[in-house]
């Protein structure tokens, strides 16, 4: 229902009252989440619910690690900002996520401190699919990252070895790449480009990292 449709309803105030009551209950539950969340367990707060994440498969863990290694090496060598992995809590207007990998440009990252546990919307978010999270990654997080101006979003299928690259254009995500090969050119991290295959091949990952270090 659009805002215009809602304003046509004679019971609009009653609807808004019920929505506000629901949001108040959600706010209390979110506070409980903040009091419960700890460093030893992956937890997210999604649309009013505390969601506990299951352990990941080896392929998922490997993809997380290789993406982080490439991004962190490049960003660190070129002083471009900060890269976080897994249990980094990103707090948006309504929800709290722990992306698999995320990146903030220097302008945002320079305000972070070592004791910080909550972070604003990143410039790049990466989610590696698993059976239990695929729907959330493709729908809820996709829409939320888009709405909060996350300029680039990668969805990675670690079993099929495919990466989907979405880039924000006029407030909406545009699919730039969906492939298991070819050169991935990152929009959020200036001058970063590497073969998609490197995400799924650690030896190739090492070559990319060595190249980054040599070019510096």
Look up the CATH number of the domain holding residue 58: 3.90.1570.10
Q: Is residue 48 part of a domain?
A: yes
Nearest CA among 66, 100, 65 for reference residue 204 = 66
* pLDDT beyond 90 at 80: yes
Q: Is residue 128 part of a domain?
A: yes
For position 86, what pLDDT does the model report?
84
* pLDDT beyond 70 at 204: yes
d(CA 46, CA 30): 9
Q: Is residue 91 part of a domain?
A: yes
For position 87, what pLDDT does the model report?
86
- How sure is the predictor about 180, in pLDDT bands with cuts at 50, 70 and 90? very high
Output the pTM of the full model. 0.89
d(CA 131, CA 82): 29
For position 42, what pLDDT does the model report?
82
Nearest CA among 137, 106, 133 for reference residue 122 = 106
Buried residues in 12-51 as b, exposed as e (16+ CB within 10 A)? eeeeeeeeeeeeeeeeeebeebeeebeeeebbbbbeeeeb
d(CA 69, CA 180): 19
Q: What is the mean pLDDT of residues 58-74?
A: 95
d(CA 216, CA 212): 6
Mean pLDDT of the chain: 92
CB atoms closer than 10 angstroms to residue 88: 20
Q: Is residue 4 part of a domain?
A: no
* pLDDT beyond 80 at 21: yes
Buried residues in 108-136 as b, exposed as e (16+ CB within 10 A)? bbeeeeeeeeebebbbbbbbbbbeebeeb
The number of distinct structural domains making up the chain is 1
| Residue predicted with more confidence, 152 or 12 | 152
For position 4, what pLDDT does the model report?
80
Q: Is residue 75 part of a domain?
A: yes
Are 64 and 74 in contact, with CB atoms under 8 Å apart? Answer: no
Range of the domain at 87: 37-215
Q: Is residue 211 part of a domain?
A: yes
- How sure is the predictor about 216, in pLDDT bands with cuts at 50, 70 and 90? low
* pLDDT beyond 80 at 213: yes
Q: Is residue 13 part of a domain?
A: no
Q: What is the mean pLDDT of residues 38-54?
A: 85
pLDDT tens for 92-123 read 999 999 999 999 999 999 999 999 999 999 99
**3-class secondary structure, 111:** coil
- How sure is the predictor about 25, in pLDDT bands with cuts at 50, 70 and 90? confident
For position 161, what pLDDT does the model report?
96
Q: Is residue 7 part of a domain?
A: no
For position 10, what pLDDT does the model report?
80
* pLDDT beyond 80 at 6: no
d(CA 39, CA 168): 31
d(CA 121, CA 4): 29
């Amino acid at each position: 229902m659009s805002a215009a449709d809602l304003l046509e309803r004679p019971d609009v105030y009653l609807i808004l009252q019920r929505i506000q009551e629901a949001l108040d209950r959600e706010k209390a539950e979110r506070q409980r989440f903040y009091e419960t969340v700890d460093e030893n367990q992956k937890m997210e707060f999604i649309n009013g619910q505390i969601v506990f994440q299951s352990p990941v498969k080896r392929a998922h863990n490997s993809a997380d690690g290789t993406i982080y290694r490439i991004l962190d090496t490049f960003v660190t060598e070129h002083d471009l900002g900060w890269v976080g992995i897994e249990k980094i809590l990103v707090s948006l207007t309504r929800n709290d996520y722990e992306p698999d990998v995320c990146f903030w440009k220097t302008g945002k990252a320079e305000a972070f401190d070592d004791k910080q546990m909550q972070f604003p919307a990143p410039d790049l978010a990466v989610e590696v699919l698993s059976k239990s999270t695929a729907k959330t990654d493709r729908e809820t997080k996709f829409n939320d990252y888009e709405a909060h101006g996350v300029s680039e979003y990668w969805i990675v299928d670690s079993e099929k070895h495919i990466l989907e690259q979405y880039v924000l254009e006029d407030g909406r995500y545009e699919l730039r790449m969906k492939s298991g090969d070819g050169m991935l050119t990152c929009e959020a991290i200036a001058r970063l480009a590497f073969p998609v295959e490197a995400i799924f091949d650690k030896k190739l990952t090492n070559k990319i990292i060595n190249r980054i270090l040599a070019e510096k």
